[in-house]
Amino acid sequence: MNLRQSLDRLPSGNLTQRVFGEPFELPDGAVVIPVVRIAGVRGDVPKPVGVFVIHDGKTSWEPAVDANRIALMGTVVGLAAAVISTLAVLRRPPWPDLSVEGLAELAKREKG
What does the domain layout of the chain look like in residue ranges?
3-63, 67-111
The C-alpha torsion from 73 through 41 and 47 to 70, rounded to 10°, is 0
Give the pLDDT confidence of 26-66 residue by residue, as tens digits.
999 999 999 988 877 676 778 888 999 999 989 999 999 88
The C-alpha torsion from 92 through 95 and 99 to 101, rounded to 10°, is 80
Give yes or no for a contact between 24 and 32, defined as CB atoms under 8 angstroms apart.
yes
pTM of the full structure: 0.50
